Amino acid sequence: MKRLFLFAVAAAGATLLTAACGQPQKQQEQNQEQSQEQQLQLTEVWETKDLPTPESVLYHAESDVLYVSLIDGEGATKDGKGGIAILNRDGSIKNQEWVTGMNAPKGMAIHDGLLYVADITAVLAIDLNTGETVHQVEFPDAVFLNDVTVDKDGIVYVSDTRTGTIYRMENNTPAVFLDNTPNANGLKIVDGTLYALVGPELWKIDSDKQSTVIAKGFELGGDGLEPVGSDGDFLVTCWGGLIYYVKADGSFEKLMDVQGEMNTADLGIHPETNTIYIPTFNSNSVKAFTLENK
């Protein structure tokens, strides 16, 4: 009995000693994680209201304006109510009805004087000077075309979120580039490489269609994707109200969580000032934020 008692006391003492020694290390790790989570912040600059269901914002450096796709209705309904608005960089409206008569326009990209816009089952190419539609290409078997990006050669890539497909369009001829990309949404060509938000993951896809998961574990499926800085980092929005800063090594930091308050759809960015533009979708506005260190 005495030996058992001494053993129990010794074991309890060892447990207390281990807990005491481990406590500072655990606290240090928690502090380090908290510090990492709080490196960056978003500060609201302006809000432009009365924009009917804005889904995507795209900054154009040459004209120094923001193009905003306006669904103005249901996201998958061909009702002719959608269009494209133009905002100045200070949030003032330059032309709210620059293009009208679209259905539910979403992601956009610019190449060689043309604005490419995904519109449910078609991609429109709009002349930046005139606002006229130059091409309208229907995509066979498409259901919900969502985002668009264009490489330096004018090859267009388009995601279909409902079918989990990424298309490639060359000379106005679309073809399946990659399937089995569930809930594919945000796309961006960076230095000739295609990056894609595939559900709650960020993928890097090479010309041989081989994919690498760069980051995974977003709380919701990704929506908007923009490169930021010069180190291979990205900003990611999730439609339900989340914004992430994703580093090149795949680690990420949550910058904003407004779930249940507003949507954070397909963002745009002004790289020189690190100003990002968030279409709030159901809140019918675009908000501008500066990204800065805390």
Tens digits of residue pLDDT in 171-207: 999 999 999 999 999 999 999 999 999 999 999 999 9
Q: Are 223 and 239 spatial neighbours (Cβ–Cβ below 8 Å)?
A: yes
Q: What is the 3-state secondary structure (H, E, C) of 232-271?
A: CEEEEEECCCEEEEECCCCCEEEEEECCCCCCCCECEEEC
Can you tell me the distance from the alpha carbon of 236 to that of 247, in angstroms, rounded to the nearest whole number?
11
The share of the chain scoring above pLDDT 90, in percent, equals: 86
- What order of strands is seen across the sheet that includes strand 93-102? 54-60, 65-70, 82-88, 93-102
pLDDT score, position 10: 39
pLDDT score, position 96: 98
Q: Could you read off the pLDDT of 2-56 as tens digits, one per residue? A: 333 333 333 444 443 333 334 444 444 443 444 355 599 999 999 999 999 999 9
The Cβ-side half-sphere exposure at 23, using a 13 Å CA radius, reads 7
**At residue 69, does pLDDT exceed 80?**
yes
**At residue 161, does pLDDT exceed 90?**
yes
**What predicted TM-score, i.e. pTM, was given to this entire model?**
0.88
pLDDT score, position 102: 98
pLDDT score, position 294: 84
- What order of strands is seen across the sheet that includes strand 108-111? 108-111, 114-119, 122-127, 133-138
Q: Which conformational region is residue 23 in: left (phi greater than 0), alpha (psi within -120 to 50 degrees), or beta?
A: alpha
Q: Could you read off the pLDDT of 216-229 as tens digits, one per residue? A: 999 999 999 999 99
**At residue 98, does pLDDT exceed 90?**
yes
